[in-house]
Amino acid sequence: MTMLGRTANQLYWMARYIERAENMARLIDVANRMVLLDVPGQAHESVWGSTLEVAGYPEDFVTFGGQISSSGVVLFLAFDDGFPSSIFSSIRAARENARALRVSITSEMWESINTTWLELRDYDSRTLFNGGVRDFCDWVKERTHSFRGVTDATMLRDESYAFLDMGLAVERADNTARLLDSKYHVLLPRDEHVGGSVDYYQWGAVLRSLSAFRAYHKVYSDVIQPRRVAELLLLRGDMPRSLMACFDRITSQLESLCQGRPQECQRIAGEIHASLRFGRIDDIFRQGLHEFLTRFIARNADLSAQIEHDFMMLQRSRIPA
Amino acid sequence: MTRFFDEMNLPDGEVRSAYRALAEWLENTPVDRLKSKRDEAEMLFRRLGITFLVYGREGGAERLIPFDIVPRIFSAQEWEQLSAGLIQRVRALNMFVHDIYHEREIIRAGVLPAETLLANALIEPHMHGLDVPRDVYVHVAGIDIVRVSEDRFYVLEDNLRSPSGVSYMLENRNTMMRLFPDLFSSVDVQAVEHYPQELLRNLRATAPPGVDDPTVVVLTPGSYNSAYFEHAFLADQMGVELVEGQDLTVRDGQVLMRTIEGLVRVDVIYRRINDEFMDPLVFRPDSTLGVPGLLSVCRSGRVTLANAFGTGFADDKSIYPFVPEVIRFYLSEEPILENVETYVLRKPDDLAYTLENLADLVVKEVHGSGGYGMLVGPMSTAEEREAYRARILDCPENFIAQPTLALSHCPTFVDEGIAPRHVDLRPYVLSGETVSVVPCGLTRVALTEGSLVVNSSQGGGTKDTWVLEA
């Protein structure tokens, strides 16, 4: 049986929203740790300021009267139902899509996301102020891991799965690129103190937020250096949250979807994939990491729009719930 | 005081044979266990997301319909009588719809006054003279039944447009089997799980002529519709696509759906959208739920709609009083199921009688549904009756009245323990290859003591309905 374009779109966005919720939890968790560690030379305000920046929120954070406070930002990023990328909004949107997709996903997947939503809705956000940030972030990660586990264990490997997997990979690549770009801003312009303690904590935080801290040490057995962090998270296919790993997934799913019918999105994905696969970290740094990441984020967004165009045949503008 | 028919106990207190195993089980099951099972049932429904949306509340709140864990039971003999009556009624109604859109013999014969149709806005002019596959108009009918005594079943209402609730019937059974496997091992209950397969078989049987492997779809208004869960459930169980209007398009005289591989032809549309929203070119131009041009494809016979356009006139409350005559006219049989005596307030005599006896009658709007806007005389206050009297006098032809029925009651698990509560029944009758009914129905129960209103929008719940093996 073939699949409706609209269904493909909802699957794709459901996966993106779930991934987005997890990334937000990672972001909060890392910022929270840095604040607790009292890293030398790092004002709390700048930690939360750069967190908001990665989260895609304008620099002038005014919602809480211009005051950047830990609890204010955490509450905003986690629970604000007017901020479309908050964990609350993302889970709600994923669950709304899942509700519409009951026929296309397994009942285990629906139960997983529905339970997550019901628990989140009833979550007492006051616990965040009593040292509960970490528990909350762990809970979000656990729920999103559980959703992916259930997806992996119960879903037929058909087109539905391909759209879910691409949604996840596109969102994840976007997040990794943004996170790197923001830290790059903070750290590299002066290009000094490489290996210093500020770098150590900053880049350590980046690695941790992408579950790559241990992997870094395993791969490089060396102190943390920005260039290597970048290499690990951009070019290494064996690092699950790297751009390369995301594009391995995207290109292989597109290959199965486009059999016999070449599509523009496949060409774009292939081009990006090739730049990661054959790119050298030294060249990237020579051109400028920031330029590379900015271009990547834009190309990734192009790809997403092209996927929607090629497969989803949307007629009226439809805002995914 | 009215004596209500008790479905479990005989007047002398003895338990009817169909309920014996259940009564014994209830006796041996501690109240605590029933309570925990009820909570478990609620948790299951919530987790599965079996909810309906209540309109008019903030954000269309999702709610659960309360589920009662005590099943309602029919013996095989009782069901035989009921199902024969249901099949008879739906056969006749299908023939009636066909006749009205063709020769109108029933009017020529003087059985149905022509003016009942003239005033009926639900007659669809585009259907005149049009033939539909196998002459089936009403593929799915929901016939609302109440019981008042041992062998008297009344039809309260025919639902011939797009009756809902069948997913509750199926999920209720599913939940009961999960909660009480022990009970099912001691009672032989007829299976109901094949309903979606029966529905699919009948839908396929009414595909346009010449199509051998028809593509069937379920058409929903979308995920914000109150019955969306049911639409998705049925599509899933039948293994067909669940589409919205925006997924379909009319091109070259065919209905096509937009898929990831391009456009694919659709042959049978089981639609859960009302007529007026189906085709903005013909009906409401502001509808974004339907498919522009759909009616023209229907008229050329290249797609089947289930139910067909224009069946609504036949379940209108102004037609209802004539259904027994409809059965006699087309089938030359006596109706097996009775109609409730109905006063049509368009008639001066009926109007006078009704106004005099408001406190004893139930008054309904002709085009109303869902228990909204009705007056239950015995439960009403004097002020409510006065207000309602004014509404009736304002436009009498908008109302009918019926005696307050002594709805049967069934044992129900409520806060005080097991207590009798009033019930009705909606069985689902399928037409296509044949006319048939799966041995079950949706039992709705008025959970408030003494209440006769079973609608879920008015605080009613549901029960599993068992038909025993012979």
Q: Inform me whether the C-beta atom of residue A109 falls under 8 Å from chain B C-beta atoms.
A: no
Q: Chain B closest CA to A103's CA: distance in Å?
A: 5
Nearest Cβ partner of A114 from B47, B236, B246?
B47
| Torsion angle of C-alpha atoms B364, B369, B372, B373, degrees rounded to 10 | -30
Interface of A with B in 8-27 (CB under 8 A): 8
Coil vs helix vs strand at B62 = strand
Alpha-carbon distances, residue A192 vs A18, A187, A206, A310, B448 (angstroms): 38, 9, 18, 46, 76
Q: Inform me whether the C-beta atom of residue B286 falls under 8 Å from chain A C-beta atoms.
A: no
User: A-chain residues within 8 Å CB-CB of B48?
Assistant: 107, 110-111
Q: What is the pLDDT of residue B171?
A: 92
Residue B256's closest chain A neighbor by CA? A4
CA distance B218 to B235: 6
Q: Where does the pLDDT of residue B127 fall: very low under 50, low under 70, confident under 90, or very high at 90 and above? A: very high
Sheet holding B375-376, edge to edge: B343-344, B399-403, B361-365, B375-376
CA distance B53 to B273: 16
Per this entry, what is the length of chain B?
Answer: 470
> Is the pLDDT assigned to residue B3 strictly greater than 60?
yes
Q: Under a CB-based contact definition with an 8 Å cutoff, are residues B378 and B404 in contact?
A: yes
Per the CB < 8 Å rule, is B258 touching A5?
Answer: yes
CA distance B317 to B322: 10
Q: What is the pLDDT of residue A194?
A: 44
Residue A8's closest chain B neighbor by CA? B260
What percent of chain B has a predicted confidence (pLDDT) above 90?
A: 68
Per the CB < 8 Å rule, is A4 touching B243?
Answer: yes
Interface of B with A in 192-231 (CB under 8 A): 222-223, 228-229
Q: What is the pLDDT of residue B287?
A: 81
Beta-sheet pairing, B248-251 with B67-74: unpaired
CA B15 vs. chain centroid, Å, equals 30
User: B-chain residues within 8 Å CB-CB of A3?
Assistant: 259-261
User: A-chain residues within 8 Å CB-CB of B228?
Assistant: 99-100
Helix (H) or strand (E) holding A160: helix A159-187
User: B-chain residues within 8 Å CB-CB of A159?
Assistant: 260
Run means of pLDDT, 10 residues per run, chain A, 321 residues: 87 97 91 75 74 72 58 88 92 94 88 94 83 90 96 94 97 92 62 54 82 91 84 94 97 91 92 95 89 94 93 56 38
CA distance B326 to B332: 9
> Is the pLDDT assigned to residue B58 strictly greater than 70?
no
User: A-chain residues within 8 Å CB-CB of B243?
Assistant: 4
> Is the pLDDT assigned to residue B53 strictly greater than 90?
no
Q: Inform me whether the C-beta atom of residue A159 falls under 8 Å from chain B C-beta atoms.
A: yes
Model-level pTM? Answer: 0.81
Mean pLDDT of B404-421: 90
What the block records as the tokens of A21 is 């919720």
Q: Inform me whether the C-beta atom of residue B246 falls under 8 Å from chain A C-beta atoms.
A: yes
What the block records as the tokens of B219 is 């058409």
> Is the pLDDT assigned to residue B50 strictly greater than 80?
no
- Mark residue B172 as left, alpha or beta (left: phi above 0; alpha: psi -120 to 50; beta: remaining): alpha
Q: Chain A closest CA to B171's CA: distance in Å?
A: 14
Q: Inform me whether the C-beta atom of residue B266 falls under 8 Å from chain A C-beta atoms.
A: no
Q: What is the pLDDT of residue B194?
A: 95
Widest CA span of chain A, in angstroms? Answer: 59
Per the CB < 8 Å rule, is A5 touching B247?
Answer: yes
Most confident range (mean pLDDT) of A11-20, B60-69, B415-424 is A11-20
Q: What is the pLDDT of residue B1?
A: 46
The position carrying tokens 């008790």 is B6
Q: Inform me whether the C-beta atom of residue A94 falls under 8 Å from chain B C-beta atoms.
A: no
CA distance B35 to B416: 11
Q: Inform me whether the C-beta atom of residue B46 falls under 8 Å from chain A C-beta atoms.
A: yes
Coil vs helix vs strand at A228 = helix
DSSP string, B367-413: T--TTTT-EEGGG--HHHHHHHHHHHHH-GGGEEEEEPP---EEEEE
Q: Chain A closest CA to B214's CA: distance in Å?
A: 13
Q: Under a CB-based contact definition with an 8 Å cutoff, are residues A33 and A208 in contact?
A: yes
> Is the pLDDT assigned to residue B82 strictly greater than 60?
yes
Q: What is the pLDDT of residue A183?
A: 74
Interface test with A, best of B259, B265, B287 (most A CBs within 10 A): B259
Beta-sheet pairing, B399-403 with B375-376: unpaired
Residue A105's closest chain B neighbor by CA? B236
Q: Which positions ≥6 away from A252 have C-beta within 8 Å?
A: none
Mean per-residue pLDDT of chain B:
90
Mean pLDDT of B139-159: 93
Per the CB < 8 Å rule, is B247 touching A102?
Answer: no
> Is the pLDDT assigned to residue B430 strictly greater than 60?
yes
User: B-chain residues within 8 Å CB-CB of A103?
Assistant: 232, 235-236, 241-242
The position carrying tokens 């050298």 is A280
Alpha-carbon distances, residue B84 vs B33, B89, B335, B441 (angstroms): 38, 9, 10, 14
The identity of residue A91, as a single letter, is: I
Q: Under a CB-based contact definition with an 8 Å cutoff, are residues B326 and B99 in contact?
A: no
Per the CB < 8 Å rule, is B259 touching A99?
Answer: no
pLDDT by residue (tens digit) across B330-377? 999 999 999 999 998 988 999 999 999 999 999 988 876 555 678 888
Q: Report chain B's C-alpha Rg in angstroms.
A: 23
